[in-house]
Structure 1
Amino acid sequence: MEGLKKFLFRGNLVQLAVAVVVGAQFSALVTQFVKSFIDPLLALVGGNPNLSHLKFTIGEGKFLYGDFLSVALTFLISSLVVYFVLVAPMAKLISYLDRDQAATEKDCPHCLSQIPIKASRCAHCTQEVPVGV
């Protein structure tokens, strides 16, 4: 029982649970944004975005490929919205905030591994390295 308690209250498990809950809410937010704003814009350009009427039958089986196409298009549009509204601006913001940070590591001229700037000897290949180079 003690092991179970340690497992349940470990920080990683709590962080994972929070990430799943936030991720589910974020997914709902993106889906609603696409439904509310992007789908109507696409309907203005290309007509009705609902493809659920597309299907074919073989014998007794009905293959509703229109529903799949609708979900695939929603996924594609949602991915594009997330990328252009969140990922690209955040990457630009992070690069803007990191531009003034001084370098803390340099390449070893012998083995090309990363070592601290003030190191006089490489920790990987043990060769002497000029300080400040």
Structure 2
Amino acid sequence: MFKEFKEFIARGNVIDMAIGLVMGSAFTAIVNAVVDNILMPIISGLTAGVNYEDIVLTIGGSTLKIGLVINAIISFLIISLFMFFVVKAINAMRRDKDEVEKAPTTKTCPYCHSEIPVDAIRCPHCTSKLEGYANPLE
């Protein structure tokens, strides 16, 4: 049983997941710092310092802290928007590298002007034998 557990832990998926969790928690600190120290003060300035934490509803002797839920929802939306912009920026940088020009996979038949595979020796549309391409079967 210990051997099976050791094999399970040594698998790449478990190690990748552990690294992802560590990186995620480290990134959480950065996101929280940006939200708490940059975005939330701006929002507080725009909303004239309204503090939702003070909103409380008392029903039958129980206190429902509605304001904390509202703050959590607002924080979630701000963090989600921030993450959206971060991922979009990362994808834009990655897209520039991925847009390296690839070799063409098709060409145009000089006779019928149809699009055909680049390694074709005869056009499948007009059956013309393409010049300059040797038939390996002949």
- Decide: shared fold, TM above 0.5: yes
Residue 92, structure 1, aligned to residue 128, structure 2: no
User: Aligned-pair distance for 1:101?
Assistant: 3.6
Max Rg structure:
2
Distance in 1, Cα, partners of 2:94 & 2:38:
28
Structure 1 segments (4+ residues) deviating >4 Å = 103-106, 117-120
TM-score by length of 1: 0.72
User: Aligned-pair distance for 1:28?
Assistant: 2.0
Q: Which runs of 5+ in 2 are unaligned?
A: 107-116, 125-138
Partner of 1:50: 51
Give 3-state SS (helix, strand or coil) of 1:52's partner: helix
Distance in 2, Cα, partners of 1:119 & 1:91:
34
Deviation track 1:63-120 (CA, whole Å, cap 9, x = no partner) reads: 1110011011011001111212x111112112221112416878xxxxxxxxxx7798
**Contact map agreement 1:39 1:49 (CA 8 A) in 2:** no
Change (3 A) 1:119 1:18: farther
Partner of 2:132: none
| Bigger mean CA deviation after superposition, 95-104 or 29-38 | 95-104
Partner of 2:30: 29
Partner of 1:125: none
Name the % identity. 25
Residue 72, structure 1, aligned to residue 73, structure 2: yes
Change (3 A) 1:8 1:104: farther
**Contact map agreement 1:49 1:70 (CA 8 A) in 2:** no
Deviation track 1:24-64 (CA, whole Å, cap 9, x = no partner) reads: 12112101110000011112211225311001111111111
Give 3-state SS (helix, strand or coil) of 2:84's partner: helix
Q: Which runs of 5+ in 1 are unaligned?
A: 107-116, 121-127, 129-133
Letter in 2 for 1:80: L
Distance in 2, Cα, partners of 1:16 & 1:73:
29
Distance in 2, Cα, partners of 1:119 & 1:58:
77
Distance in 2, Cα, partners of 1:51 & 1:105:
60
TM-score by length of 2: 0.70
**Contact map agreement 1:54 1:66 (CA 8 A) in 2:** yes
- RMSD between aligned residues: 2.3
Give 3-state SS (helix, strand or coil) of 1:73's partner: helix
